[in-house]
Amino acid sequence: MSDQIHDIVILGGGSGGYACALRGAQLGLDVVLIEQDKLGGTCLHRGCIPTKALLHAAEVADSARDGAKFGVLSLLSGIDMEGVNKYKDGVVGRLYKGLQGLVKSRDVTYVEGRGTLVSADAIEVGGTRYVGRNVVLATGSYSRSLPGLALGGRIISSDQALSLDYIPARVIVLGGGVIGVEFASVWRSFGAEVTIIEALPHLVPAEDETCSKALERAFRKRGIAFKTGVRFANATQTEQGVNVTLENGEILDADLLLVAVGRGPVTDAMGFAEHGIALDRGFVTVDDRLRTGVGNIFAVGDIVPGLQLAHRGFAQGIFVAEEVAGLSPATIDETGIPRVTYCEPEVASVGLTEAAARAKYGDDVTTYEYNLGGNGKSQILDTAGFIKLVRNGDGPVVGVHMVGSRVGELIGEAQLITNWEAHPQDVATLIHAHPTQNEALGEAHLALAGKPLHAHA
């Protein structure tokens, strides 16, 4: 046991954990960061970064295949998965090296090993205790499956999907949320036949229904099959592939079954419950200042109920470091966190859906949809989609929802609009560069402010 008492001891080196460590050290705090795997966690090594690298490779494949539409006589002669994986791993490796250097340069005490909570102020790693005036739990998440559906063989999670060295001819994706539709998009671009199974009525069911329907139309056009509103029953592996039975009796077969039904919190056997940490279905419950209610123990990231997004964990980590340093930061508004699904076309949103806005404000809600067909850059990119604004009566814009190629790059301005409670008139006075897709946000707000140019009021 170390006699030293640290300002913060952090268990978990993913987005939430390392952000807390870096900000804490920046504020002059003595920080210990404990990680049993690789610094950067799921997002860097098994999530955000490698999947988006695959999605970019898929975009390049589509560009080569469709070059003739733009007068470029390109051919797609095949997909070299060894080369794709080399590119993906290179991106991850460079970011990993950079993150390691950052942590080292900030004089954070970095400890490799599996840690467990052994008291309200201590984490133990390999027989050594690290005592902190404050403890931060940031242990992340894992790929879930369904009861009775064991992963292995031809039934894989997103972790295994990221390391495939071949392209399956036929894939069934169980789950039509973010992870499921992103992998479906990649594999379709690489030439696979893909079918998505989603128990809820729409793909990306957490998004505004208008966006879900637009994505479904786009997927139909791309040849991605999906079955919504139907539940999975069971799966059987054979020498040739896997057979999937749905509750309606329909049987599907494919080479692989990707299980993409969400991520569960890594909180078992960590000493949390034993030391009074309240858990809800495995998630750590916290107050609006991310306190667990046990000593000075905080929790951040995927183990906290809510959106499981790297940038949410990142923001929470910074919040806790500043809270510990006595800066009294403003609490994080979950509805103000931007969300992007990086399939083709992309789906990006921030704030309230139309349904959520009506539930909160009643019928005094107005919406406007601007079709990207009126946007010059979207025509150049040959993408279809729209920007939908949700407004609280005559008040501020409370939701922005977008579908189209690369619309994720527009989410920065969209989150400023909703988080700063801007009115359409406020945004309409801003000058948006032409020709950009960002211009479409300006056009949508011009229309909602009552002065449409390239759109109907």
H or E, element range at 198: strand 193-198
**What structural domains does the chain harbor?**
5-142+264-334 (3.50.50.60), 155-261 (3.50.50.60), 345-448 (3.30.390.30)
- Check residue 456 and give its pLDDT: 67
**Residue 34 · residue 10 · CB < 8 Å:** yes
| Interaxial angle between packed helices 438-448 and 411-419, expressed in degrees from 0 to 180 and rounded to the nearest 10 | 40
Determine the pLDDT at residue 454.
76
C-alpha span between 391 and 364 (Å, rounded): 9
What are the DSSP E strand ranges found in 12-156?
31-35, 109-112, 115-119, 122-125, 128-137, 141-143, 155-156
CA nearest neighbour of 350 among 310, 290, 410 = 410
d(CA 307, CA 329): 20
Chunked into runs of 10 residues, the chain (457 residues) has average pLDDT values of: 84 98 98 97 95 98 96 95 98 97 95 97 96 98 94 96 96 98 98 98 98 98 98 94 96 97 96 96 97 98 97 98 98 97 98 97 95 95 97 97 97 98 96 96 94 75
**Is the whole model's pTM more than 0.85, yes or no?**
yes
Residues in the chain: 457
β-strands 279-280, 122-125 pairing: unpaired
Active-site option among 6, 432, 434, 454:
434
Question: For residue 219, what pLDDT is reported?
Answer: 98
Active site residue 434: yes
Helix axis angle, 15-26 to 310-324, nearest 10°: 30
Dist. CA 182–CA 51, nearest whole Å: 8
